[in-house]
Amino acid sequence: MTHTAILLMGPTASGKTDLAISLCKRFPCDVISVDSALVYRGMDIGTAKPDPDTLARTPHRLIDIREPEESYSAGEFVRDAYREMDEIFAAGRIPLLVGGTMMYFRALTEGIAALPSADEAIRRAIDAEAAERGWPAMYEELEIVDPQAAQRIKPKDRQRIQRALEVYRSSGQPLSDWQRNSAPARNDIGYLKVGLNIEPRSLLHERIERRLDLMIAGGFVDEMKRLRERPGLVADCSAMRSVGYRQFWQYLEGDHSLEEARDRALFATRQLAKRQITWLRSETKVLLADPLEAGAIDVISSFLAQSL
């Protein structure tokens, strides 16, 4: 049996949340967030996270599921999203996946490769090193480059040691990361894709700037100060590499003035929007709509009603 889910995609500040709420009033939908920053607790203002009243009226799944010190991968998102979709399907409702993390959408619809293919040249080089240095030395190297894999692999398991080192040397990523991120696409779910695209681009840029200024006025700097007080949170954490958070962390470090941090965050957010639009235009079978045009919600609703 094939189920159908709705994907509502678009650049930052394009009005995805408001449109999702409107769609939930017209269709029996439950919202799943597709946003790599909204997963983190305590990151509310700088992510434009829906406020508590909005979330009470229209609950969003996959929001506030990680501490900002923790990592969250595309593979983990896919597994979490499938779990939430299955619950929604079981209740006889329609998953509405909403967000701007295009990599997550792509991973969901196309899957993530499990592991890089074998590289015979690297494998032979590892065997030659092992003949010279011994497999215990190769295992010690694995403990350095991929301690998680080393914990699962026995020191005398030459084949698995070789494969783990091969993956690391060929891709630059530990085997444990590949295994954590891998997630195959399911063929029992069909997707209706809706993309938001505001034209001309200058209108989107104005919305981005206005929202950033509202964030700053609404206490974004104080939010950053609270986050920086967390003992395990550092600038290199994935959460703090999010647009806006990186620039204002640097401001609190004394690297920039507040005005410069604001300008850098604005530039970075506009660049993010540009990348999101590029991803969106590469999608196939997607209805593109300008949410600022009169009747946009009716056009989108008609498209969905004909296909659901």
Cross-strand bridge partners of residue 238: none
Nearest 5 degrees, angle CA 188-CA 192-CA 196? 145
The percent of residues above 90 in pLDDT, for the chain, comes to 81
Cα of first residue to Cα of last residue in the chain, in angstroms, is 14
Query: What is the overall mean pLDDT for the chain?
Result: 94
Tens of pLDDT along 266-303?
999 999 999 999 999 999 999 999 999 999 999 999 99
Burial class (CB in 10 A: 0-12, 13-18, 19+), 49: buried
At residue 1, does pLDDT exceed 70?
no
What are the structure tokens assigned to 210, written together?
A: 């206005």
Tens of pLDDT along 148-201?
999 989 998 898 899 999 989 988 889 888 877 777 889 999 999 999 999 999
Cβ contacts of 140-148, under 8 Å, gap ≥ 24: 141/165, 145/174, 146/174, 146/175, 146/176, 148/174, 148/176
Q: Is 92 left (phi over 0), alpha (psi -120 to 50) or beta?
A: left
Tens of pLDDT along 36-47?
999 999 999 999
Q: Strand, coil or helix: what is 198?
A: coil
At residue 114, does pLDDT exceed 80?
no
Tens of pLDDT along 220-245?
999 999 999 999 999 989 899 999 99
pTM, whole model, 2 decimals? 0.82
At residue 119, does pLDDT exceed 90?
no
pLDDT value at residue 301: 97
